[in-house]
Amino acid sequence: MASDKVTACCQALIEKNLTITFVESASAGKMSYEFSTVVNSGRILIGGMVCYHSSMKEDLLHIPWGTIEKYSAESAEVTKLMAQNFFRYINSDICVALTGLTTPGGSENEEKPVGTIFVHIIFADKETAKRFEFNGTPESIINQAIDAVAELILEEIA
């Protein structure tokens, strides 16, 4: 069941007749799923793409070769390119990209610990990027990130 924040976000999108797409890495489709569980979500949710592995980001989202090596798959730079490149091909009012570190074994370091999440959202007239650091289990980190995305969207469209 969707959180109160996701439900409120979906209701606002429905009221404003806005559509949304997701391009997800760390959340592996859970953001799309959460938004799909809200009543009338079919009026707003176009769909999404899970591109967990770097090869998907490079091959399907056309992230330039060397970009992931330079910045890491879990970075603001890659997240921005994911959003921009997906948005070019999918007709929606809002596009959300999310990457990050929910478990050890990625690009974590002292400056970018496990729990770091990058979000890039494209709206009709602007783009917004945020970096978050959450604590907890991998599932908790993702749930916090999804709620944070819902809040960012609500702030922009309210």
CATH superfamily of 4-157: CinA-like (3.90.950.20)
Query: Averaged over 93-121, what is the pLDDT?
Result: 95
For 11-62, write each residue's pLDDT tens digit. Answer: 999 999 999 999 999 999 999 999 999 999 999 999 999 999 999 999 999 9
Q: Is 67 exposed, middle or buried (0-12, 13-18, 19+ CB in 10 A)?
A: middle
Contacts of 84 (CB under 8 A, 6+ apart): 120, 122, 127
Percent of the chain residues past pLDDT 70, beyond the cut:
100
Binned at pLDDT 50, 70 and 90, residue 1 comes out as confident
- Could you tell me the residue ranges of all domains in the chain? 4-157
pLDDT score recorded for residue 14: 98
pLDDT-derived band at 158 (thresholds 50, 70, 90) equals confident
Residue 21: what pLDDT?
98
Q: d(Cα 58, Cα 148) in Å, to the nearest integer? A: 27
C-alpha distances out from residue 79 to 3, 76, 98, 103, Å: 24, 5, 6, 18
Q: Please tell me the predicted confidence (pLDDT) of residue 73.
A: 95
Judge contact between 101 and 26, C-beta under 8 A. yes
Alpha-helical (H) ranges within 24-137 are: 30-36, 54-59, 67-71, 76-89
- Token code pair at residue 112: 């970018």
